[in-house]
Amino acid sequence: MITSARIREELRPAGLDWITALRAPQIRALLAAGAFQLSLFDERDLAEITAPEFPGERLQEPAVGRGTGAQSEDLLRATEAAFGHLADKIAHGRGPKGKDKIARAVGRIENRYQLAKRFDIAIAEDGFTARRNQSRIAAEARLDGFYVIRTSLEDKALAADDVVGAYKSLARVERAFRSLKTVDLHLRPIHHWLAPRVRAHVFLCMLAGHLEWHMRERLKPILFDGPVLTQKPG
């Protein structure tokens, strides 16, 4: 949601701080420029750097979840299975027909698994082919489980560990919105057109998320939502 353009055009002029994450191309550019080395994380799990591309900002690299090759392979196989199922339907006359419709069906699979760049895809009028691009897969594997957090907050305002914790806590916000929109309350579709109504809807969603957080904190003892404590026998 927070893009470089939004930071430049809206957040900075308003004097607001932010915490977000770099996109994969930006991370690769930093690696190519020698801003950091992946071997650094053989000795530590968190590093903080600055880079001229991001003046006045701090970059945290938590190497959390390194070695996720097995999960990536599972996703690749799931994508291949979905491609195979679609190709079989097309071959038996039960799938989309024509280059445009086939391309849209392939695109839906790409969006589902987010691995489009790891396959070479050729689409024709009567079918398509999809093959793994091993060089891209190897390049992406270097960054498996690795991400870079970007923030304008100074160290005295939020330490590096706390920046990482704040960024990861955004998953709670995503979970709350998913619960509001689809799982529990089903507040979609939304047809607000007037600005005050849009603001009111967003406010109610944020208020619900705020209440949920406080309820979870209060109910942790009976929801077993806190850290699990173990006690040795005797």
Instruction: For residues 194-206, give the mean pLDDT.
Output: 84
DSSP-assigned beta bridge partners for residue 120: 131
pLDDT in the model for residue 36: 66
Instruction: For residues 112-116, give the mean pLDDT.
Output: 76
Between the ranges 33-47, 57-71, 173-187, 208-222, where is the mean pLDDT highest? 208-222
pLDDT tier at 229, thresholds 50, 70, 90 = very low
Q: What distance in Å separates the CA atoms of residue 34 and residue 141, rounded to the nearest whole number?
A: 19
pLDDT tier at 137, thresholds 50, 70, 90 = confident
Residues 6+ apart with CB under 8 A from 99: 123, 124, 125
Residue pair 154/50 in contact by the 8 Å Cβ criterion: no
pLDDT in the model for residue 168: 79
Helix (H) or strand (E) holding 78: helix 69-91
pLDDT in the model for residue 129: 93
Residue pair 164/196 in contact by the 8 Å Cβ criterion: no
